[in-house]
Amino acid sequence: MEVNSIPIYLFFVIFSCSTILEASINGDEPRFSQQQQPIIRSDFPSGFLFGAATSAYQIEGAYLEDGKSLTNWDCFCHSKPEECGENGDNGDVADDHYHLFMKDIELMHSLGIKAYRFSISWARILPRIEPFVTIHHEDFPQELEDKYGSWLDPQMQDDFVHFAETCFKNFGDRVKYWITINEPNLVSEFAYEKGVYPPGRCSQPFGNCLAGNSDVEPLFVMHNMLLAHGKAAKLYREQYQPKQGGSVGLVAHCFMYEPITDSELDRKAAERAMIFNIGWSFDPPIFGDYPQEMREYHGNELPRFTQEEKDMMKNSIDFIGINHYSAIYAKDCTNSSCSESANRVIKGFVEITGERDGVLIGDPTSMPRFFVVPRGMEEIVNYVKTRYNNTPMFVTENGYSSPNVQDVQVEEILNDVKRIEFHQAYLASLASAITNGADVRGYFVWSLMDNYEWAQGYNVRFGLHYVDRQTFDRIPKLSARWYQGFLKNNSLIDLPESVHQQADIYNL
C-alpha cells in the first residue's frame, strides 16, 4: 500500500496537535505547596506536560471509510456483540471523531492542555496489504489474525516494524514522542489468558474459549510484543532519531499491588505481583532480559531472548509510560487457598482483590478492578523509579470512570465532582513523588472524552467531556472546567466545596 493513501484526517490531527505538543525536558524545579491546599498547576515544573489521552478505536468510528480495512476489534465486536458491552456496543461510530476531529482539537485548545496522546489506527494507514505492523493501541488489521494468528507468531514483530517505520517516515518530523505499544501486559492477559479481548483465546479455568492456552500463550504474545518494540526502537534510534530528534517509549498497565496482610508470604506475593507485571514489561527493554524471579517460576516456558536480542532490547526505551488507575491487594496462593485461576504460575501464584476484611481498598468506580487509592500513584512511581534507576517517566493514563446508568440525568453526569476529587488527589500524590526526586515529565488524563470502553462498551464514562450518543455533541463536564482552570493555575473558587476539601478527604 502506498503511503499516499494515508488519510488527510491524520495529517490534520498531527499537524494541529504538533502545535500544542511541547517538549518538557528541562522544566523549572518543582515548587510544592503544603498539601492542605488543593494541588495547583504551579506545583509542577513549568515544562511538565499536561495532556489528555484517547485511542483510535475508542473514539474514531468511520470503521469502513476511506479504504480502511477491518480490524481485530471490528471483527470481534461484530461476531461477538455480547462481549463488547452490555448493549452489543462497538466502535463502528464511537465518538465520530474521524469527522469531528476539528471540534475535538478545539476542545483541547479550550482546555489548555499542552499535549494530546492518541493512537494511529494501523488498519487506516496500511489497509489491505501484506501483514504490516504499527505503533499500536489494541486494534490492528484482522488480516494479520487470519493469516498467521497475529501476536502469537514472530512474523508480527516484523510487520509491526514495517508499520512503525511508515509512521516514523511520514510523521516523525512532527511527532517527538513515540510509544511503540500500549499495555502489552494487559493485551496478553485480556486477549490470551482471560480471552475477553480479541482474538478471545483462553483455556479452563479462565473461560470457555474455543481455543487457547491461558498458562503459556500470554508469555509468547508478550515476548513477540516486546521484541516488536525492541526492533522498532532500534530502527528509530538508528535511522530516524538522529535527524528527527524524538524519543521512543513503551507503556504498561501498572497496578500498584499492596500485600493484603503483613505476613511475609503476602508481602512476597505483592512483590511477585509487581515483578510479574512491571518487571515483565520493563525489565527486557531496560535490562535486556526477563526478571530472574519469573524464570524461577516459569522455567523453560518463559521464552528466551538470544544474546543478540538481549543486546537489542537493553536500553531500548527513552521513557517509561505508566498507565495507573488503582492500587489493589495481593494475596499469597503458595500457602493459602485461592481461586483456581489465581493459583497458577501465570499469575505468580497471587490472588488480587480489592477487599480486605469486608472493607474496600478505596472507593469503587465503574471498572471492576479500579478503586480510588491516590497513594498508589506515589507508590507506583517510586517503585518504577527505584527499579529502573529513575529512567524518565510519563503518566500516560490516569482517570476515573463513572457509570453510564440509563436513567441518570445528563446534569448529574456533567456534575462530576468525584472525577475532580480523583484527579486532585492523584496529582497531589504524583507531586509528592516528584518532589522526592522522581523524574516524571508529564501526565495524561484518560480521557479527553467519553468513549468506547472495550469490553464495557459505552456503559463506562472516563471523559472530561460528555459525548451525547445521539448527536455526538461534546459537552464539557465540571472536570473539564476544573482541568482548564488547573492548567491556568486558577484557584478553584467556582467549584464545589467538596473539591476544596479533597486534600482532607484523602488525608494528603
In sign, the C-alpha dihedral spanning 386, 390, 393, 399 is positive
Is the CB of 16 or the CB of 323 nearer to ligand BGC? 323
Cα–Cα distance between 417 and 295 in angstroms, integer? 45
How far lies 377's CA from each of 138, 374, 384, 438, in Å? 24, 6, 11, 12
56-75 residues near ligand BGC, rule: CB under 6 A: 58
Q: Does 418 bind ligand BGC (CB under 6 A)?
A: no
The candidate with the shortest Cα–Cα distance to 77, out of 216, 199, 213, is 199
Binding test (CB under 6 A) with ligand BGC, winner from 24, 166, 281, 323: 323
Kindly state the smallest distance separating residue 401's Cβ from ligand BGC, in Å. 7
Count other Cβ atoms within 10 Å, centred on residue 242.
Answer: 9
Catalytic residues: 183, 397
Is the CB of 197 or the CB of 483 nearer to ligand BGC? 197
Is the CB of 85 or the CB of 259 nearer to ligand BGC? 85
Binding test (CB under 6 A) with ligand BGC, winner from 108, 186, 286, 302: 186
Binding test (CB under 6 A) with ligand BGC, winner from 453, 464, 479, 495: 453
Helix 155-171 × helix 217-235 angle, to 10°: 30
Kindly state the smallest distance separating residue 461's Cβ from ligand BGC, in Å. 11
Kindly state the smallest distance separating residue 82's Cβ from ligand BGC, in Å. 19
Tally the C-alpha atoms within 13 A of residue 229's C-alpha that lie toward its C-beta: 35
Helix (H) or strand (E) holding 252: strand 247-253
Three-state DSSP class for 465?
Answer: strand
87-146 residues near ligand BGC, rule: CB under 6 A: none
Kindly state the smallest distance separating residue 503's Cβ from ligand BGC, in Å. 26
The CA-based diameter of the chain, rounded to the nearest angstrom, is 61
Is the CB of 60 or the CB of 397 nearer to ligand BGC? 397
Mask of contacts with ligand BGC, 359-388, x by CB under 6 A?
--------x---------------------
Binding test (CB under 6 A) with ligand BGC, winner from 182, 224, 244, 398: 182
Is the CB of 253 or the CB of 418 nearer to ligand BGC? 253
Kindly state the smallest distance separating residue 117's Cβ from ligand BGC, in Å. 10
Kindly state the smallest distance separating residue 94's Cβ from ligand BGC, in Å. 12
Cα–Cα distance between 352 and 83 in angstroms, integer? 23
Is the CB of 305 or the CB of 444 nearer to ligand BGC? 444
Q: Are strands 359-360 and 49-53 parallel, antiparallel or unpaired?
A: unpaired
Amino acid, res. 445: V
Span near ligand BGC by CB under 6 A; candidates 93-101, 182-190, 339-347, 469-477: 182-190
Q: Does 55 bind ligand BGC (CB under 6 A)?
A: yes
Amino acid, res. 382: N
Is the CB of 395 or the CB of 503 nearer to ligand BGC? 395
Q: Does 326 bind ligand BGC (CB under 6 A)?
A: no
Three-state DSSP class for 347?
Answer: helix
Is the CB of 93 or the CB of 505 nearer to ligand BGC? 93
* Residue owning grid cell 489528555: 52
23-52 residues near ligand BGC, rule: CB under 6 A: none
Is the CB of 268 or the CB of 423 nearer to ligand BGC? 423
Kindly state the smallest distance separating residue 389's Cβ from ligand BGC, in Å. 26
Strand partners, 319: 249
Kindly state the smallest distance separating residue 55's Cβ from ligand BGC, in Å. 5
Looking at residue 480, what DSSP letter applies?
A: H
Could you tell me how many residues of this chain bind ligand BGC (CB under 6 A)? 11
The candidate with the shortest Cα–Cα distance to 248, out of 231, 265, 264, 260, is 231
* Residue owning grid cell 493501541: 137
Write the DSSP assignment of 253-291 as a string of letters: E-PEEEESSSSHHHHHHHHHHHIIIIIHHHHHHHHSS--
Helix 184-192 × helix 217-235 angle, to 10°: 150
| Grid coordinates belonging to 417 | 465532582
Binding test (CB under 6 A) with ligand BGC, winner from 397, 416, 421, 450: 397
Cα–Cα distance between 141 and 246 in angstroms, integer? 27
250-269 residues near ligand BGC, rule: CB under 6 A: 253
* Residue owning grid cell 489474525: 145
Span near ligand BGC by CB under 6 A; candidates 148-156, 178-186, 254-262, 309-317: 178-186
Kindly state the smallest distance separating residue 323's Cβ from ligand BGC, in Å. 5
Binding test (CB under 6 A) with ligand BGC, winner from 132, 206, 305, 446: 446
Cβ(488)–Cβ(112) under 8 Å? yes
Binding region for ligand BGC (CB under 6 A): 55, 58, 182-183, 186, 253, 323, 367, 397, 446, 453
